[in-house]
């Protein structure tokens, strides 16, 4: 979870490059649809995403992680793009660690609209479709990040974070607390890797 609100933050968003049919099933639980059923597919995916977001938010509210944790309690809300609990609050211009969407308040009610702003020309619908395909809100031909594709380490960490979140959906309360501790540790490593990538980029433009 990162905080945006300006070009400097928006430019640091990273591109996720892991692809494949397995990704689609993991993220939205949607089967394959014929081309002629595109509208039905979109509606189905939105319904599944809403269901998943509701489940995550019930698992991410006032979770007591114990005295030995860095944070005694954790409360998260879901990213409107990827659906995972990566944000501390809605419409606060936080940048999602997983899909790079900068949360300006857009959601299902206006998901087809493109407002420009921090997310460029992408509508929320387009960003969601891209996340299913590429694990980023961006399409490969129109990625505005400054550091390019994720490093191998960052891609691995993002996969681990997604898997950790998915396990929460099928775990009891005690297990959810343990998984949240794992998720926080992975997020910390993600932030370190992001900073390393930015330093590498800054070095490259100085030469």
- Within 13 A of 61's CA, how many CA atoms are on the CB side? 6
What does the pLDDT look like over 68-106, one tens digit per residue? 666 678 899 999 999 999 999 999 999 999 999 999 999
Give the dihedral of Cα atoms 163, 169, 172, 177; nearest 10 deg: 50
Average pLDDT over residues 44-53: 92
Q: How much of the chain is helix, strand and coil, in % rounded to 5?
A: 50, 5, 40
Average pLDDT taken over every residue of the chain? 83
Q: Where are the alpha helices (H) located in the chain, listed in sequence order?
A: 7-11, 21-28, 38-58, 124-134, 152-168, 173-206
pLDDT over 50 at 18, yes or no: no
| pLDDT recorded at residue 143 | 84
- Between CA 176 and CA 183 the distance in angstroms is 10
- How many Å is the Cα radius of gyration of the chain? 17
User: Where do the structural domains in the chain lie, given as residue ranges?
Assistant: 2-206
What does the pLDDT look like over 107-145, one tens digit per residue? 999 999 999 899 999 999 999 999 999 888 998 888 888
């Amino acid at each position: 979870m990162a905080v945006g609100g300006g070009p400097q933050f928006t430019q640091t968003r990273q591109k996720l490059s892991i692809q494949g049919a397995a990704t689609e099933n993991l993220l939205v639980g949607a089967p394959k649809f014929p081309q002629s059923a595109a509208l039905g597919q979109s509606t189905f995916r939105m319904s599944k995403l809403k269901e998943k977001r509701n489940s995550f938010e019930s698992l991410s509210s006032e979770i007591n992680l114990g005295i030995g944790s860095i944070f005694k309690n954790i409360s998260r809300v879901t990213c409107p793009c990827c659906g995972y609990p990566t944000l501390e609050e809605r419409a606060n211009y936080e940048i999602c660690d997983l899909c790079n969407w900068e949360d300006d308040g857009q959601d299902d009610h206006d998901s087809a609209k493109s407002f420009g702003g921090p997310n460029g020309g992408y509508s929320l619908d387009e960003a969601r479709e891209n996340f299913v395909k590429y694990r980023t809100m961006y399409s490969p031909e129109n990625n505005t990040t400054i550091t390019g594709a994720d490093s191998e380490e960052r891609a691995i960490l993002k996969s681990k974070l997604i898997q950790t979140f998915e396990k929460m959906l099928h775990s009891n309360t005690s297990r959810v607390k343990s998984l949240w501790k794992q998720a926080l540790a992975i997020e910390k490593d993600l932030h370190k890797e992001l900073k390393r990538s930015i330093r590498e980029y800054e070095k490259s433009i100085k030469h």
